[in-house]
Structures are given as structure tokens and as C-alpha cells.
Chain A
Amino acid sequence: MIRHLAAALGFLAVAALTHVAIILGLPLLAMHIAMGALAREDAASRFRAEPQDPAAVHALVSPNPDLTHAVCSFDVQARAVRIAATLPPGMWSLSLYAANTDNYLIISEDQVTDGALEVIIYGSNYRGTFPATSIALQSPSRQGVAVLRVIAGAGAIAPAMAEALGRAICEPYTPAP
């Protein structure tokens, strides 16, 4: 009797642990795979527009002919990260994702002046200052992903927008002395 009860409890404990591990682990695994793909695409701490390996983007977003992406993975443990771009008129957005896939920031063209975007993301150990013109915020996780999206419209992205996307910056931030 006791042996059967112990077996049932053991079965339930393993089932519960497996269930919780799958639910909590899926988002972390998905982002881990995406960041690994971005690292292979040389998109760690730099924006990469139109990666050569579609899997690098597909791990993050579903393929969509309406959108053009530039993607960058970053780590704020050692240094803050600066994201900057100057985008021509058009529909675009910058989304920041934490390691658990939470979309903790979204900025679109309506929220900046003259298409000038500057965001600084820092870790909990950061003690420096930021330029008054930038948007600064603490990353909820050590690692994360930035996705700059342009809604192409009419099937083709404007050359000026494509060029601006290619010039977008995602780099370690150096505070002014």
C-alpha cells in the first residue's frame, strides 16, 4: 500500500516538475535559440539588416513581406548599450525584448522628433549618466534583443529607409567624460 502511494506521489511530482519546466523554459529557450542565431549572423551588439541566414530572423519573427527588420542582440552586464538611428518619414518601430521574450519597450515614429532615435539600455549595476536627448531605461534582464522594423508598404521599402536601417547603431555605450 505504502509502496503504491509512494509510486503515485513520485509520478505526480515528476509530472508537475516536467510541466513547470516546459512552461517556464519555453520562452527562455526560444530567446536563447534566437540570440544564438543572431550571434552567428554577427548581430551581437550591432544591428544586422537582412541577415544572410533567414533562420536568424525566423527564430525571432515570422516571415512577413510587409516588414523589413534590423536585429541586434545585446548584453548589458559589462556595459550599457546605445541604440541610435535617424529614419526618414515612414512607419517604423523599435522593440526591445527581455530574455524571457517580454516586449518591455516599443517606440514608433510618432514618439521621436525628426526621426532621430536614441535609446540607452543599462543593467542594474550601471552608475553612469546619460545624454538628456536620449531615452534611457534599465533592462529587465542581462541579455536582450532589439528589433527595428520598417513597414515597407506597397511591397518595397523606400531606398532612404533601407539605407537608414543599414546605418542603425547598436553598440556598447561610452558615457561622455
Chain B
Amino acid sequence: MARPGTMAIIAGGMLAGLITAAAALWWVAEGASLRHGPWRSSLFPGVVDLDPYSRAVVALRGAAALHHADAVYFIATEDETGAALSPRCDYRLDGRDLPARWWSIHLGNQDLALTSGGKSVDRGSVVRGADGAYTIHVGPTRRDGNWLATGGVDGAFSIHVHLYRPETAAMLDRGGPALPRLVREGCAS
């Protein structure tokens, strides 16, 4: 039977290994994130010959992730000022057609999971102006046209932009793809 000192060394070593692995995965995931204003994404998924750390990050997000040639997802949890998205506030997404064959915009919860049964706006259903631009309202206040209701959402939430068959040039552009502006209009007191 191992002595208490030996057991402490083994337990401490395992804990240190766990902490350093978690820290390394967080660091790798952060390093691979694309940031465009309030929008964040990752180009990791669906690639062969990843380094072991990147592969482990992919595995944590879903063992069979979509290849980035098929889809790129952007998520916002904050508005343009850096304030967390709140279901008490009304927001506006101002944009134009996104650089992809198909795109959609959804609401998600604070754990970044899409809310089940939630409404979405997509390339086919979005109401556009004469110049092709659109405004999508997000919040508790009922609006005409494009409106994603946050009624019934508890706590912080997230906004998800899905680009299917994204245009590679737009993804690699230094400024990133032209994603919608995310503007807070006001909050209920």
C-alpha cells in the first residue's frame, strides 16, 4: 500500500495535469477565435492533421463538427459597447446579405446553445429594404418586419449567425466578413 506522502504526490500531480490541460485548451481555443466586433467564431472544426490540443478543443465542441467549408458560425454575447446581451433590452441588427450561399440568424441561451423552437431569420425570409439592406429587431418589444423575440428568455442570451458555404475570400479578408452591426436601442428599467 502506498504511503500517504506518495499518495499526495500522485494526487497533486494529477490535479496539476488536469489544471494545465484545461488551461492549455482554453488558451488554444481563445487563440483560434476570430473576433469581428461583438462576433466570435472559430475556424478549427472539420480539419485533418490538427495538433493534439486543437483536436481536443474540437472534440469538446462536438465530435463531428461541420467543416468550415460547409459552415462558419459567429456568436455574439455582448453588444457593440461590450455590455452583455440582456432580455430586458431591445437591440437592432443592421446588415446586408452575408457572404454565403445560405445564412440564418438565431437566438441562443447564455450557454451558447440555440433555444429550441426559437424563431430565426434567414436569407429567404428576411424582410429587406429597397437597397437590399435589412434591420432585424431583437428584444421583448413587438416589432413589425424582422423580429426575434426574447420574451421568456431568462438571464443573458446570445445571437448566432450561421453562414453556410461561406465565401472563402470573405472569411480570410483581414476585416472579416461583413457581419451585421449589433446596436442596443434601449432597456426596460
Contacts and interface: CB of A to CB of B under 8 A. Distances in A.
A8 B110 CA distance: 42
Interface size for chain B: under 10, 10 to 19, 20 to 34, or 35 or more residues? 35 or more
A11 B46 contact: no
A154 B124 CA distance: 6
Contacts of A20: 17
A147 B108 CA distance: 24
Contacts of A106: 46, 67, 69-70
B63 A15 contact: no
Contact of B9 (A10, A18, A95, A102): A10
A146 to B, nearest CB: 9
Contact of B55 (A62, A71, A100, A154): A100
Given A34-B64, A154-B125, A11 B16 contact: yes
Which interface residue of A13, A61, A65, A93 has the most chain B CB atoms within 10 A?
A: A65
A149 B48 contact: no
A23 interface: yes
B149 to A, nearest CB: 16
B120 interface: yes
Contacts of A7: 5, 9
Which interface residue of B9, B20, B47, B49 has the most chain A CB atoms within 10 A?
A: B9
Contact of B13 (A14, A23, A151): A14
Contact of B64 (A12, A17, A101, A108): A101
A63 B113 contact: yes
Interface string A104-135: 10101000000000000000000000000000
A168 to B, nearest CB: 16
A158 interface: no
B106 interface: yes
A89 interface: no
Interface in A146-177: 147, 149, 151, 153-155
Nearest to B13: A14
A151 B17 CA distance: 41
Interface in B1-23: 5-6, 9-10, 12-14, 16-18, 20-21
Contacts of A27: 55-56, 58-59, 63
A106 B62 CA distance: 17
B20 A19 contact: yes
A2 to B, nearest CB: 14
A78 interface: no
A14 B14 CA distance: 6
B165 A91 contact: yes
A101 B51 CA distance: 12
B134 interface: no
B48 A102 contact: yes
The 5 closest A-B pairs by CB, nearest first: A18-B17, A14-B13, A30-B59, A15-B16, A22-B21
Given A13-B13, A60-B63, 9 more contacts: A14-B16, A18-B21, A27-B55, A30-B60, A62-B61, A63-B113, A71-B64, A101-B55, A154-B125
5 contacts: A15-B20, A17-B13, A26-B59, A30-B60, A66-B102
